[in-house]
Amino acid sequence: MIRPSDLADAVLRNTLAEAEGALDEGEYLACVRCCADAYVHVGTVHPELIARPFSGSVPLPAAHATRGPRRNQLQPWLGRLGVICTIGDDGIPQMTFQKQDFSMTEAAAYFEFMMDIAIRVERATSQQP
């Protein structure tokens, strides 16, 4: 199992290690904030990997189109747990906290989601020339 300390990206490594520590200490808001910061970092450094939230006004690409450059796109942020992600005009994710209290389950879901994202980012970037 990959741990935050195994990640090559220093920002992801440090931020997710801090998130894991906060989760272990029962500081669930701090854990979620670190996870949100990590997602914004990914969107800043690798905006091409961030999947845009679905909008009914934007047609979905043809099935074969997802085999091209979009195949490495990451899953959209977990907005249903209390932190909404919007993509700014600059392409950078912006986080809005709808609440300030998170359960252990919610914090753990965000942490596991971000660990998956971090692993996918590392795989995608290690394949680039």
Distance between CA atoms of 12 and 18, rounded to whole angstroms?
10
The answer to which of 29-43, 74-88, 102-116 has the lowest mean pLDDT is 74-88
Find the mean pLDDT for residues 74-100.
82
Other C-beta atoms closer than 10 Å to the C-beta of 117 total: 21
Q: What does the pLDDT read at residue 127?
A: 67
Distances (CA, A) of 41 to 15, 25, 59, 68, 101: 10, 24, 28, 24, 23
Q: What does the pLDDT read at residue 50?
A: 76
Find the mean pLDDT for residues 74-92.
78
pLDDT of 58 strictly over 70: no
Query: 10: burial class by Cβ within 10 Å (0-12, 13-18, 19+)?
Result: exposed
**For the chain, domain boundaries:** 4-54+68-126
Distance between CA atoms of 126 and 121, rounded to whole angstroms?
8
